[in-house]
Structure 1
Amino acid sequence: MTSRRGFLKSGGLALLGIGLMGGIPAFIAEAAASEKAKNLYKGKKTLVCIFQRGAMDGLMAVTPFTDSYLQAARPTLFVSAAKGAATKPLIDLDGRFGLHPAMASLEPLFRDKRLAIVHGIGSPNNSRSHFDAQDYMESGTPFRKGTSSGWLNRAVGLLGHDGAGTTPFTAVSITSSLPRSFYGDNQAVAVSNLQDFALQMRGNPKGNTLVSQSFEDLYDQTSSDLLKDTGKESFEAMKMLQKADTKNYKPSGGAVYPNSALGNSLKQVAQLIKMNVGLEVAFTESQGWDTHFNQGADTGIFARNVTDLSDCITAFWTDLGTYQDDVTLMSMTEFGRTVHQNGTGGTDHGRGSCNFILGNDVNGGLVHGKVAELAVENLEDGRDLPVTTDFRAVFSEVADQHLSLNNDKVLFPDWNGTKVGVMRK
């Protein structure tokens, strides 16, 4: 008999899809969702995290445009805020920092004080290895390799859901496999899409045979034990997916998602939030930020990436409509890029970067953090924007305040720093 842990826990269940968009298989659709199930999960707060893999150039996304040292260090990459310059101008945020022109869709959210930026954020570990830096950030233990759990999985544990009434959709990653952030003993699933998905038992000796079985077969085999531990509401939540007709989903408010991996992922996160299936922590990814060559200035690879990022976030926020009060979105990237451009028109692995936090409870309209003048004597190792804000200071503040967590020693066990004021109290 498959156990509840084997069937539902993050060491066990991942939902893997084969397409990018669409509806829910009919075999989950027995019995439409009851009002009881909808009311059970309605009103949950949701934290949405986007990992920008590859290390985003924070100095290009949000540029300290008055810094003459940066302009000299980037003769072909620097984007000016001046009108009539050779490039399309930066969007002046506060007289010192400018938003990349390709991120124009985020400007209204910043002006409306719903979007905050933290600059100089990163890991206290100075590794410039993508693999190690991502691992440290997702585990939340930047000086400990081999931590078995991810910080978002520990956040799920701090939500206090243990036993009856737990939904299988408390923590969902819209990725092809479970991200490092969700590793651990608390319930989490990975869904690459909401159409034609199959069940895969990660770390379960019977996994290979279980993959080939239908949900109905698994339900029949595990029904009595599973229902005893988790309550009927868990399976009612799964049946709610079909009721919502996600195949024909139409975003609210005229939102138009880019036809990209991130756009399709955030569209599905919005659907899950609006279906009231109990989603509290969501995760997805944006790829392609490792800009070693031909990075471009106001156009090019970087501009295309930030256009997608900002337009996806804006579409998601618009789509949420009345659910905006219940959602906070936060981006992250493993490190930044060098202050000086390299010989191939790009930037190499650096240290500090910036991230974006969006929500109605965010202390927005501000660029938080410390960025000193980029003279060589102020740079880390004479080359990089220093990390002046530990990522854990921001992640803990956002998670604590939005999800009402209160145990930073569990969330980030090796951290005892101060928070930066990115959330309103």
Structure 2
Amino acid sequence: MDRRRILQFAGLSALSSLSGIRVAYGQSAPAQPRLIVVMLRGAMDGLSLVAPYTEDAYYQERPTIAIARPGTPDGLLPLTERFGLHPAFAPLLPHWEAGQLAFIHASGSPDGTRSHFDAQDYMESATPGRKSTPDGWLNRLAGVIAGPRATPAAQRLQAVSLGPVMPRIFAGEAAVASLASGNAALRPSALDRPEVAQAVARLYDGDDRLSQVVREAAVTRGEIMGKLASDDPKADMGALPLNALPVDATHLGQLMARDARIRLAFMPVGGWDTHANQGAGKGQLANRFGVLAQSLAALAQSLGPRLAETSILVMSEFGRTVRQNGTLATDHGHGNVAFVLGGGVKGGRVLGEWPGLDPSARYEGRDLAITTDFRDIIAELLEERFRLADAQLARVLPAMERRKRVGLFA
């Protein structure tokens, strides 16, 4: 490798770290509607988020961590005659009442693994049980909706990933911009200084592919900074919690509200592996639910009118055990609850076939059974919102043997 090539790779690394943007090879294009996927890494306890308060088994199996019935202190917020919402999720209750929020219970991956690594891999590749899939389903979707004639300007900001590491779901050929977490995305970097930008431009003035990628990354950095720097910093940071998630969600929503080219976004959220001292209506898990609910409410608000054309899909790799463990929490399970927030959805409903918590109905005698494949949820979103044809859907969700209607839009 010659000296110029070494300098180029060093410069590309510096550009990625300083700008908070990573550009992958491929193509993308601007359009609407949009999809934001929120992955709750660590296996969120869906039986605490949306609890079946009419089932005695729920309270028998969770004598200290079950959420109290509606109408009692720290009790569930009633959703239906069977299900109640964790009280910490109250910030999203207005969206439920407005018909913009729907839950899909007893959903998840048909693969039975209880490994976080494997389950997340399968959910992000959308090929449960198959580790050889080279790309993620959001990247495949980016390629499908971009089409073969997307212009370079349209390619730069079609897909955005929040965080410094490109996730499995965005692995592949289509271009993805990486937005730094927290306030780092708003801080000026050395690349924002004219003399540094000019030096980088001189270094990458060639016609090779690497030079083209660096130039596109610099333009993307300028576009993101221009859209977010116009906000009043006091309004961004004033009353926001110390936890970075509400800030990240707000910034992502603002960016998508201001740039119609962004169609796809991914936001991973950690901290859901609750093996000890989980709590009930209050406690460790309740605090996390509160931050998540506030963040999703902030995301919806910052999208503004764009929420009507945006679907926010929230999933976790698997659920938790029905029975609480010896450390007043739950262990790795199977079925879970997913939910969709945004425009077009016919919300105010808990969807999916409920199998019940009777021991005879549980998966392997211990976990909530799965009656809705998570890919059925994705398929319906892509059919109804993105209007994908069968051949296009097969590219995004390969080797999917069965499909059923979830009813998100019916």
Q: TM-score range by the shorter chain?
A: 0.7 to 0.9
Cross-structure match for 1:408: 393
Maintained 8 Å contact 2:68/2:281: no
How far apart are 1:153 and its partner, in Å?
0.4
Matched, 1:104 2:90: yes
User: Counterpart of 2:360?
Assistant: 377
1:326 aligns with 2:309: yes
Q: Tell me how far 1:323 sits from its aligned partner.
A: 1.6
Q: C-alpha displacement at 1:258, in angstroms?
A: 3.9
Structure 1 counterpart SS, 2:355: coil
Residue 184 in structure 1 maps to residue 172 in structure 2: yes
% identical equivalent positions:
33
The alignment status of 1:56 with 2:54, answered yes or no, reads: no
Aligned to 2:145: 159
| TM-aligned CA distance change 1:16 to 1:258, over 3 Å | farther
Taking structure 1 as the reference length, the TM-score comes to 0.81
1:140 to 126, 129, 151: 126
What SS class does the counterpart of residue 143 from structure 2 fall into? helix
Give the secondary-structure state (helix, strand or coil) at the position aligned to 2:408. coil
1:242 deviation in Å? 3.6
Which of 325, 338, 355 is matched with 1:355 structurally?
338
Q: Distance in 2 between the 1:306 and 1:161 partners?
A: 38
Amino acid at match of 2:171: Y
Q: Distance in 1 between matches of 2:312 and 2:180?
A: 19
Partner in structure 2 of residue 45 of structure 1: 33
Secondary structure of 1:244's counterpart equals helix
Instruction: Find the partner of 2:268 among 280, 285, 292.
Output: 285
Counterpart-to-counterpart distance in 2, 1:412 and 1:398: 12
Please name the residue that 1:88 is paired with.
74
Contact 2:106 2:369 in 1 (8 A): yes
For residues 42 and 333 of structure 2, the distance between their equivalents in structure 1, rounded to whole angstroms, comes to 11
For structure 1, the residue ranges without an aligned partner over 5 or more in a row are 7-11, 25-39, 200-212
User: What's the offset of the Cα at 1:161?
Assistant: 4.0
SS of equivalent to 2:35:
strand
Q: Per-residue displacement from partner, 1:240-285 (whole Å, max 9, x unpaired)?
A: 33433527447999x9654423212212211211221611111111
User: 1:227 Cα shift?
Assistant: 12
Tell me how far apart the structure 2 counterparts of residues 344 and 371 of structure 1 sit (CA, whole Å). Answer: 28
Pair 222,198 (structure 1): closer, same or farther in 2 beyond 3 Å: farther
| Matched letter for residue 329 of structure 1 | I
SS of 1:156's partner is: helix
Partner SS for 1:386:
coil
Distance 1:113 1:342 in 2: 36
Query: After superposition, what is the alpha-carbon deviation per residue over 1:190-247, rounded to whole angstroms, capped at 9, x for unaligned?
Result: 2224235889xxxxxxxxxxxxx965555441565669989x9997665333433527
Conserved in 2, the CA contact under 8 Å of 1:45 and 1:327?
Answer: yes
**CA 1:242–1:378 in structure 2 vs 1: closer, same or farther (change >3 Å)?**
closer
Partner in structure 2 of residue 195 of structure 1? 186
Does the residue aligned with 2:275 lie in a helix, a strand or coil? Answer: coil
Local SS of the residue matching 1:88: coil
Counterpart for residue 128 of structure 1? 114
The equivalent residue for 2:247 is: 264
Task: For residue 281 of structure 2, give the secondary structure of its aligned residue in structure 1.
Answer: coil
Q: Distance in 2 between matches of 1:251 and 1:276?
A: 22
Q: Specify the code of the residue in structure 2 equivalent to 1:51.
A: M
Q: How does 1:161-240 map to 2 (within 5 A)?
A: 161-162=147-148, 163-164=150-151, 165-193=153-181, 194-196=185-187, 216-220=198-202, 221-222=204-205, 224=207, 238-240=221-223
Q: What amino acid maps onto 2:64 in structure 1?
A: T
- Match of residue 408 from structure 2: 423
**Deviation of 1:171 (Å):** 0.8
Taking a change above 3 Å as real, the CA distance of residues 16 and 332 of structure 1, as seen in their structure-2 partners, is: farther
The AA in structure 2 aligned to 1:108 is P
SS of the residue corresponding to residue 247 of structure 2 reads helix
What is the alpha-carbon distance in structure 2 between the residues aligned to residue 226 and residue 278 of structure 1? 23
Cα contact 1:256–1:315 (8 A) shared by 2: no
Q: 1:77 to 1:126 in 2, by over 3 A?
A: same
**Residue 79 of structure 1 contacts residue 89 of structure 1 at CA under 8 Å; is this kept in 2?**
yes
Question: How far apart are the structure 2 equivalents of 1:79 and 1:341?
Answer: 12
Whole-Å Cα distance in 2 between the matches of residues 216 and 124 of structure 1?
A: 52
The 1:16/1:307 distance shift into structure 2, 3 A limit, reads farther
Cα shift at 1:392: 0.5
More helix by share: 2
Aligned to 1:316: 299
1:366 paired residue number: 349
Distance 1:252 1:395 in 2: 35
Aligned partners of 1:295, 1:18: CA distance in 2, in Å?
Answer: 38
Do the aligned residues in 2 keep the contact of 1:166 with 1:234 (CA within 8 Å)?
no
CA contact (8 A) 1:14 1:189 kept: no
